[in-house]
């Protein structure tokens, strides 16, 4: 399945249970907005194991505590953050602290997708 969802605050690409999000410039990603992403994705793919990739091509802020809630969603088996700017490395480390499942940082989208494919392969998907 290959599907693109356009939300008021960003774009979501779904392909083979890999969800790639590009949040718009200047957005503050809250629990409410992340719930909108989750609901949109699960309407499209159901409740099978999924990897979420945040492709941070724009500058926006995020409430890191929302990861505690996302950790409770059983089918989100991992999150990848893509950003090649070292200045954001410390914020990624803070976000990682709040997420209890697999959480990786990558410099390129292609490396994040490769990791996601390997993780999903463990679930025979």
Tell me the pTM: 0.90
User: Beta strand 2-7 with 10-15: parallel, antiparallel or unpaired?
Assistant: antiparallel
The CATH topology of domain 2-121 is Transcription Regulator spoIIAA (3.30.750)
Cα 20 to Cα 95: distance, rounded to the nearest angstrom:
17
Find where tokens 């724009």 sit: 58
- Each domain of the chain, given as residue ranges in start order, spans 2-121
Pick the closest to residue 12 from 54, 46, 60 (CA basis).
54
pLDDT tens-digit profile, the chain (125 residues): 789 999 999 999 999 899 999 999 999 999 899 889 888 888 888 888 999 999 999 988 888 888 888 888 888 999 999 998 766 676 777 788 778 889 999 999 999 999 999 999 998 75
Residues constituting the chain: 125
CA pair distance 17, 119, nearest whole angstrom: 11
State the Cα–Cα distance between residues 46 and 8, nearest whole angstrom: 22
């Amino acid at each position: 399945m290959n599907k693109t969802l356009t939300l008021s605050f960003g774009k979501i690409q779904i392909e083979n249970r890999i969800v790639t999000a590009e949040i718009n410039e200047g957005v503050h990603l809250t629990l409410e907005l992340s719930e909108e992403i989750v609901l949109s994705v699960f309407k499209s793919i159901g409740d099978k194991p999924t990897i979420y990739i945040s492709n941070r091509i724009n500058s926006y802020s995020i409430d890191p505590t929302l990861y505690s809630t996302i950790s409770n969603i059983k089918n989100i088996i991992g999150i990848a953050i893509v950003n090649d700017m070292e200045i954001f490395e410390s914020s990624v480390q803070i976000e990682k602290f709040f997420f209890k499942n697999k959480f990786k940082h990558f410099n390129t989208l292609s490396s994040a997708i490769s990791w996601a494919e390997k993780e999903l392969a463990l679930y025979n998907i």
